[in-house]
Amino acid sequence: MYDISKHKIKAEPLILGIESSCDETACAVIMGRKIIADKIISSASEQALYGGVVPEIASRAHTDAVDEVVADALKEAGVRPNEIDAVAVTYGAGLLGALLVGLSFAKSFAHALGIPLIAVNHIRGHMAAAYLDKPDLKPPFITLLASGGHTAILHTKTELEAEVLASTTDDAAGEAFDKVARVLGLPYPGGPNVQRLAESGTADVEFPSALARHGGGSTFSYSGLKTAVINYIHTAEQRGQAVNRANVAASFQRAAIDPLVKKTVELALNTGASTVTAGGGVIANGYLRDSLKKECLSAGLELVLPEKRYCTDNAAMIASEGLNQYLAGNFAPLSINAKAQIPLK
* Closest separation in Å from C-beta 166 to ligand KG4: 18
Q: Which residue is nearest to Zn ion (CB)?
A: 313
Q: Which does 106 bind (CB under 5 to 8 A by kind): ligand KG4, Zn ion, none?
A: none
- HEC string for 246-264: HHHHHHHHHHHHHHHHHHH
The minimum distance between CB 242 and Zn ion, in angstroms, equals: 36
Residue with Cβ nearer Zn ion (98 or 249) = 98
Q: CA quadruple 328, 92, 53, 207: dihedral positive or negative?
A: negative
Q: Do 141 and 304 touch, CB atoms closer than 8 A?
A: yes
Beta carbon of residue 238, minimum distance to ligand KG4 (angstroms, whole number): 28
For residue 154, list its beta bridge partners. 143, 164
Binding mask 257-296 for Zn ion (x = CB under 5 A): ----------------------------------------
Contact residues toward ligand KG4 (CB under 6 A) are 22, 126, 147-149, 174-175, 177-178, 189-192, 195, 280-282, 284-285, 312-313
Picking from 221, 248, 223, the residue whose alpha carbon sits closest to that of residue 233 is 248
CA distances from 314 to 69, 110, 265 (A): 12, 20, 27
CB-wise, 143 or 147, nearer to ligand KG4? 147
Q: Is the peptide bond before 259 cis (omega within 30 degrees of 0)?
A: no
| Closest CB to Zn ion among residues 124, 254 | 124
The answer to whether 268 touches 277, Cβ cutoff 8 Å, is no
For the bound state, the minimum distance from the C-beta of residue 319 to ligand KG4, rounded and expressed in Å, comes to: 16
Choose the binding region for Zn ion from 10-18, 39-47, 144-152, 264-272 (rule: CB under 5 A).
144-152
* Least separation in angstroms between CB 284 and Zn ion: 11
DSSP-assigned beta bridge partners for residue 161? 158
Question: In degrees rounded to 5, what are phi and psi of residue 133?
Answer: -75, -35
The answer to the question of residue 313 lying near Zn ion (CB under 5 A) is yes
Distances (CA, A) of 121 to 46, 128, 150, 295, 308: 26, 11, 13, 30, 20
Pick the closer one to ligand KG4 by CB: 205 or 284: 284
Amino acid at 5: S
Question: Which residues, 6+ apart, have CB-to-CB distance to 188 below 8 Å?
Answer: 44, 47, 48, 50, 51, 52, 53, 178, 181
Closest CA to 304 of 268, 269, 277, 272: 277
In the bound state with ligand KG4, the residue whose beta carbon lies nearer, of 42 and 271, is 42
User: Considering the complex, what minimum distance in angstroms separates the CB of residue 174 from Zn ion?
Assistant: 9
Question: Among ligand KG4, Zn ion, none, what does residue 189 contact (CB within 5–8 Å per kind)?
Answer: ligand KG4
- Please tell me the count of residues contacting Zn ion according to CB under 5 A: 2
Taking CB under 5 A as the rule, does residue 147 contact Zn ion? yes
Q: How far is the CB of 28 from ligand KG4 (least distance, A)?
A: 15
Using the contact rule CB under 5 A, the part of the chain among 80-88, 139-147, 213-221, 242-250 near Zn ion is 139-147
Tell the smallest beta-carbon distance from residue 314 to Zn ion (Å): 9
Closest to ligand KG4 by CB, 14 vs 283, is: 283
Question: Which CB atom, from 256 or from 311, has the smaller least distance to Zn ion?
Answer: 311
Rg (CA), the chain: 20
**DSSP label at 209?**
P
Residues that bind Zn ion in the complex, under the rule CB under 5 A: 147, 313
